[in-house]
Amino acid sequence: MAHTTVKETIKTAPEFTKLIDLASERLGGKVLFATDDFFAEKENLLKPGRGIFITDKYTDRGKWMDGWESRRKRTPGHDWAIVQLATSGKITGFDIDTNFFLGNHPPHASVDAVNLIDADFITDWENVDLNWQEILPKSHLDAGSQNFYESQSNEIFTHLRLHMYPDGGIARFKVYGDVFKNWDLVTENEETDLVAAENGGLAIDCNDMFFSAMGNLIMPGRGINMGDGWETKRNRTPNNRDWVILKLGKPGSIERIIVDTCHFKGNYPDSCLIEACHSVNNEPVIAGNVDWKSLLPQQKLSADHIHEYKNEICKLGEVSHVRLNIFPDGGISRLRLFGKIKN
């Protein structure tokens, strides 16, 4: 009898995966509780990427797996976990990824959501009475696959309850949507990083991100390594320019800029230039139907260094989008655009 193996299924990612992963550990998401994580820790659910597989790696509890895995359930019921989003937001869709979970994935999953002003008082998630709302009905999961589903609600939520039926392993749980930030609480004199992901900033387009993703530019903190930034491939075209377009969380006037080349030593760009525009929608910006103006004239860059600019910035007033240009290619870890808004 021939031995058969379930292979990973590769699916086309829907448009909503271009949005911010509101549950991302890097952004500040946390797994607060799980009914069972005997084989693999619940915290793995929110880590970057899709998870890895190491053939001969075992623990004293069994096979090491890069995800959340509960033991085989021999009693009625099912397993579930509580996820605290990094920031409150409107959820568009999910990726419930069973990567490398082939003979041990749950056949179905569902998601509930709630908006909590303060969850610190909750010490017993199994018995607390909350107004959970089902935003993904019980849905089929394929083994070794990204399972994409749309949210059934556009309300604002802070916490999710991920159910798997009845048990098994899920590698990653990604929750794509739009950050909700109450800008009414931000005064007009308050300096805010308007492009930060936690404030609703979003990387929407670029010409190249061969080595690492454009969205890393606006993550919290400094980059943890060279892969935690935006890096383009080596370009041999004379006078080449690579670029990335970012949407601010809220339009405002930029007064201070930080370009951080942390960890980029032999591959930092020679120089950079930042342009800005004002547009109500992303579409004309991506299509090039806007009037880009110089926000930061071309500046020489150094390796593994925080570059801060104030006096060099052109006074453009309120802008909504920026285009970071690097010459000729290379990597930048973080971009910070500190400014003020008008309420």
**SS3 string of 250-290?**
EEEEEEEEEEECCCCCCCCCCEEEEEEECCCCCHHHHHCCC
Q: Hey, what's the torsion of the CAs at 29, 49, 111, 76, to 10 degrees?
A: -110
Kindly tell me if the per-residue pLDDT of 312 is higher than 50: yes
Which has the closest alpha carbon to 257: 313, 202, 301, 298? 313
Which has the closest alpha carbon to 159: 35, 53, 31? 31
Q: In this predicted model, what pLDDT tens digit does every residue of 9-46 receive, in sequence order?
A: 578 999 999 999 999 999 999 999 999 999 999 999 99
The last residue of one of the domains, among 145, 179, 213, is 179
Total domains present in the chain? 2
- State whether 137 and 219 are in the same domain: no
Residue 3 domain-assigned (yes or no): no
The last residue of one of the domains, among 133, 148, 179, is 179
Contact of 274 with 325, CB cutoff 8 Å: yes
- State whether 63 and 210 are in the same domain: no
Residues in the chain: 343
Kindly tell me if the per-residue pLDDT of 257 is higher than 90: yes
Percent of the chain with pLDDT over 70: 97
**Predicted TM-score of the model (pTM):** 0.92
Q: In this predicted model, what pLDDT tens digit does every residue of 113-133 receive, in sequence order?
A: 999 998 999 999 999 999 999
Which has the closest alpha carbon to 142: 4, 6, 3, 5? 6
- State whether 49 and 168 are in the same domain: yes
Mean per-residue pLDDT of the chain: 95
211 C-beta neighbours (distance < 10 Å), count: 16
Q: What is the pLDDT of residue 9?
A: 58
Q: What is the pLDDT of residue 4?
A: 39
Per-residue confidence band for 223, with pLDDT thresholds at 50, 70 and 90: very high
- State whether 194 and 128 are in the same domain: no
Supply the range of the domain harboring residue 290: 183-340
Side-chain half-sphere exposure of 191, counting CA atoms within 13 A: 8
- State whether 326 and 212 are in the same domain: yes
Q: Quick one: average pLDDT of 147-152?
A: 98
Q: What is the pLDDT of residue 342?
A: 87
